[in-house]
Structures are given as C-alpha cells and as structure tokens.
Amino acid sequence: MNKKPNHIQPTLSAGAFPSVQGMWKQYQSDAAQSLLPTGAPYVDERLRGGITQAGLHEFFGGAKADSHAAAAFALLLAWRLPESDAGIFWISGDKERQTSGRLYPYGLSAMGGDPARMLLVQTADLRDALRAAADAIRSKAASAVILETHGNARLVDLTSTRRLALAAAETGVLALLVRGDAVPMPSAARTRWRICSAPSAPLPGNAPGLPTFDISLLRHRGGAAPFAARVTWDHATRSFFDAPLSGGLSAIVTDTETGPASRQRA
C-alpha cells in the first residue's frame, strides 16, 4: 500500500514497451474470461468448460438442512483455484454463525484446503456483509469471496447481486453466494445451483465416504441447459469427479428443473 518507489523510478516512455503492455492487457482480458472447471467431466461438458471465474454464482440448499451442503460445495469450488492465488474471504453474519456453526480448520485441511488462506469476516447484519463482500471483490486481495446468507433476505436482490457481479467481472474474482434456506429470487448471478447432500459410496465397514453432492444447475446466463448430476470431491486431486450410483450407473441425468428427483432415486 505504501510501497512506493522512492528513489529511482524507471521512466517508461509511452511507446517504449508496447508489446509488454499489450501482453499484459491480453493476459488480463484472458483472466477475466477464464473458466473454472469443476473437474467432473460430465458437469464440465454440460457447462462447456466450467463456471466463469470472473462472475457471481449462487448456491441454494435443496432443503433446509442442505444449507451446509451448499456452503461446502461453494468452498470446494473456491479451492479449485490455483493454490498460489490470494486468500479466500468467507463472509457471514452473526445469524449465520449462530445457526450453522463456524468453519473448522481441521476439517478444511482434511478436505485438501489450506486454512491459512482463509480470511473470516463476521458482520453484525446482512447489509454489512454485502458491503464487505463488495469491498473484498473490488480489491485485488482475494481470489474468491464467499458470502453466506441464511433465510429469505430482501436485501439480496437484483441490485445488490448486480453490484457484486459487476465488481467480480471487473476484477476477475470468483464471487460465490451461498443461500441457505432461501427461495430463488431474480438475481444477477451467472449461474444458479441447487445443492443437496447425497449418500456417499461407503467405505469398508459401512463407514461414511467422501463428500458427495447432488447438484442441479437451475439457471445459466451463458445459455447452458439445466441439468443435474451427482459429484464427489476428491481431496487428493482437489477436484470433483462424477459419482457412480450404487447401481454402477454413471452420473444421473435427469431434467430436474423442478424437483430433487435424484434424491428420491438415490
């Protein structure tokens, strides 16, 4: 912030390094357009490569208790970003922390994340949280900003989400909005997802297995068709993979715009 050159400032004449500047611009515009693949081939194919990194994405919990699944999925997506990048901001209000508990670093590291990269911001209310999220996205300090809200909040409307989306498009920050226990409302997000926990492939001794989610794409600004899939997180490769059903089928393909059909089938 204060690291200004104090003595010899290299004097760049405007036309001296056109190629460097051009390359820099090119790099920046590339970064703005780059896609973040989930790692699961089926999902990435339906998304035509992945989700836009410089954009806002919304994650709704399927049922009331699925807000945790939505939060976990958003967090894991953020970890798909390269490790060397800047920190990940987790912004939530007092209410969310009260109802959903706090993030537990041992669990995060066990899923392949680096707790030292996380910055936690706890605000008194949603208004502060939205403002903090906008600031975090606008500054170049974060690689991803996750904002967790709980319940139907009127503050999270088209205007406030557009503010976040525009900021994200400008700086190339991955902005993720977790909406636990809420009904989808019009918003400026690039994609909207419904996330539910799904039964995992059991380990020997019928022990619970790796994190598994039923995800359904509800809306995509780029025009990708809605779809549903079941994915599992592999912490060793830090990527998702298409989860096989217990019956040995590949990922479920249903046109579930409306209901959690996948859950009923499982």
Q: Which is nearer to other proteins, 185 or 210 (CB)?
A: 210
Site size toward other proteins (CB under 8 A) is 74
Window 15 to 54, contacts with other proteins (CB under 8 A): none
Q: Which is nearer to other proteins, 207 or 225 (CB)?
A: 207
Out of 35, 141, 185, 261, the residue judged to bind other proteins by CB under 8 A: 141
Tokens of 139: 């500054």
Report d(CA 197, CA 235) in Å as an integer. Answer: 17
Q: Which is nearer to other proteins, 106 or 258 (CB)?
A: 106
Candidates 48, 190, 256, 33; CA nearest to 177 is 190
Tokens of 243: 């989860």
Question: Under the criterion CB under 8 A, does residue 112 sit at the interface with other proteins?
Answer: yes
CB of 129 to other proteins, least distance (A): 10
Out of 22, 49, 208, 222, the residue judged to bind other proteins by CB under 8 A: 208
Window 116 to 135, contacts with other proteins (CB under 8 A): 116, 118-124, 128, 131-132, 135
Please state, in angstroms and as integers, the Cα–Cα distance from residue 219 to each residue in 32, 139, 146, 222, following that order.
21, 28, 19, 9
Per-residue binder mask for other proteins (CB under 8 A), 69-108, x = binder: x-xxx-xx---------xx---------x--xxxxxxxxx
Q: What angle do CA 152, 99, 106 make, to 5 degrees?
A: 125
- Write out the H or E segment, with its range, that includes residue 192: strand 191-197
Candidates 57, 56, 60, 55; CA nearest to 179 is 60
CB of 221 to other proteins, least distance (A): 27
Question: Under the criterion CB under 8 A, does residue 68 sit at the interface with other proteins?
Answer: yes
Torsion angles phi and psi, residue 212, rounded to 5: -130, 140
Out of 3, 13, 19, 183, the residue judged to bind other proteins by CB under 8 A: 3
Tokens of 30: 């590339």
CB of 21 to other proteins, least distance (A): 12
Please state, in angstroms and as integers, the Cα–Cα distance from residue 189 to each residue in 41, 96, 131, 184, 261, following that order.
23, 21, 17, 11, 24
The answer to whether 189 and 165 are in contact (CB under 8 A) is yes
The answer to whether 194 and 226 are in contact (CB under 8 A) is no
Out of 236, 247, 248, 258, the residue judged to bind other proteins by CB under 8 A: 236
Q: Where does this chain touch other proteins (CB under 8 A) — which range of 36-44, 47-55, 156-164, 231-239? A: 231-239
The answer to whether 161 and 186 are in contact (CB under 8 A) is no
Q: Which is nearer to other proteins, 91 or 169 (CB)?
A: 91
Q: Which is nearer to other proteins, 91 or 220 (CB)?
A: 91
Question: Under the criterion CB under 8 A, does residue 198 sit at the interface with other proteins?
Answer: yes
Q: Where does this chain touch other proteins (CB under 8 A) — which range of 3-11, 49-57, 153-161, 221-229? A: 3-11
